[in-house]
């Protein structure tokens, strides 16, 4: 009976994703996959010649967070910078196909849509080509983006800030989003990047991976997980830190509570691309549905266990998440 009640609790929380709206802000990307076959080495240089058989495009970065939210049954409003270029037009088409609200997009001349092109032969990545401008936003760009956020915040239950260190996220943006969220009674969840040294005062949840956590804390690889998590909780000034540990699962740190360890549920790790996007999107939807931080972390862990079994930048559906919960 206990297991049935527990399972019903998870089902109710996941069912609650429907109708919840999350505002996603951050570095928006277009992920291109060029598939082909290698049959010979180039006579011009010692590199493989890839004969292209197909091409595909998917949403990446903050757009992948929004895509995960919609795939899980929620609604997403996306805010960030793109370029007035073919990649930007393709990205907007993908947003429409996934029913993602793009009212927060700012198309700025001189700043190309961030594009990551991966060339794959079979399941092996041969090379990745990045097109981007990772310079910090101009003051006018930042103000324009914040105006859109202020207009949209009343329509959402929570905010996700996705940082890929491509110039969108700054300490000023973090502070302003935290202030807005607090004033409107919304929560803010942040997926940080190791290249940016920020504080996250009053942020509900920050979700670093082990590498990001070590970089931010300044500790070495031998440091214990508990020391890292508690140190970041104090350093960042946030309410909670969800430290993702790869094959070792996750550990949640909340002020005044013991660390909460969650073992991994991944049955097969095929590709970790975008796993952090899945974690932050699932946690945000769970919080919007009334979950506490431990419950949100548990659901995020299950979703991550599903997505790492897929190739490339991928999403998790609500049925897949429920299926992962069923076999635990």
pLDDT at residue 164 greater than cutoff 90: yes
- By CB atoms closer than 10 A (0-12, 13-18, 19+), residue 44 is exposed
Q: Between 287 and 306, whose confidence is greater? A: 287
Give the pLDDT score at 84.
94
Query: Angle at which helices 318-326 and 293-307 pack, to 10 degrees?
Result: 100
Residue 274's pLDDT is 64
Structure tokens at 154: 């009343």
Q: Is 310 a residue whose pLDDT tops 90?
A: no
pLDDT band, very low/low/confident/very high, at 4 (cuts 50, 70, 90)? very low
Choose between 123 and 45: higher pLDDT. Answer: 45
Span 201-225, mean pLDDT? 91
pLDDT of residue 328: 54
Share above pLDDT 90 across residues of the chain, in percent, rounded to a whole number: 75
Q: Residue 41: is its pLDDT beyond 50?
A: yes
Q: Average per-residue pLDDT in the chain?
A: 91
pTM: 0.92
The better pLDDT of the pair 313, 268 is held by 313
Return the pLDDT at 312.
67
Residue 232: pLDDT band (50, 70, 90) is very high
Active site residues: 277
All residues at 6 or more sequence positions from 12 whose CB lies less than 8 Å from its CB, including other chains:
none
Structural domains in the chain? 9-29+60-113+134-326 (3.40.1190.20)
pLDDT at 273: 57
95-136: per-residue pLDDT in tens? 999 999 999 999 988 899 999 999 999 878 999 999 999 999
Give strand pairing partners of 21. 75
Instruction: Scan for tokens 């399972």, then name that residue.
Output: 7
- Alpha-carbon span 13 to 104, nearest angstrom: 28
């Amino acid at each position: 009976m206990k297991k049935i009640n527990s399972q019903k609790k998870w089902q109710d929380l996941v069912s609650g994703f429907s109708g919840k709206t999350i505002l996603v802000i951050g570095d928006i990307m277009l992920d291109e996959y060029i598939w082909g076959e290698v049959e010979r080495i180039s006579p011009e240089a010692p590199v493989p010649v890839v004969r292209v058989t197909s091409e595909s495009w998917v949403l990446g970065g903050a757009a992948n967070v929004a895509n995960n939210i919609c795939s899980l049954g929620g609604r997403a409003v996306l805010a960030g910078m793109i370029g007035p270029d073919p990649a930007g037009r393709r990205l907007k088409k993908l947003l429409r196909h996934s029913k993602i609200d793009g009212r927060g997009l700012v198309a700025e001349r001189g700043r190309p849509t961030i594009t990551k092109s991966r060339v794959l032969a079979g399941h092996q990545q041969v090379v990745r080509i990045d097109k981007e401008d990772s310079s910090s936003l101009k003051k006018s760009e930042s103000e324009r983006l914040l105006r859109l956020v202020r207009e949209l915040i009343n329509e959402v239950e929570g905010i996700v800030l996705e940082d890929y260190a491509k110039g969108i996220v700054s300490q000023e943006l973090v502070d302003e989003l935290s202030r807005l969220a607090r004033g409107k009674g919304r929560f803010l969840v942040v997926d940080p990047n190791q290249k940016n040294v920020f504080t996250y005062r009053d942020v509900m949840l920050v979700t670093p991976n082990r590498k990001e956590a070590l970089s931010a804390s300044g500790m070495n690889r031998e440091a214990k997980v508990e020391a890292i998590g508690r140190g970041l909780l104090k350093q960042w000034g946030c309410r909670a830190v969800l430290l993702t540990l790869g094959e070792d699962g996750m550990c949640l740190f909340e002020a005044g509570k013991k660390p909460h360890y969650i073992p991994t549920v991944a049955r097969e790790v095929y590709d970790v691309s975008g796993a952090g996007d899945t974690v932050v999107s699932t946690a945000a939807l769970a919080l919007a549905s009334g979950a506490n931080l431990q419950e949100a972390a548990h659901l995020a862990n299950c979703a991550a266990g599903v997505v790492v079994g897929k190739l490339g930048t991928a999403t998790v559906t609500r049925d897949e998440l429920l299926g992962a919960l069923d076999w635990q």
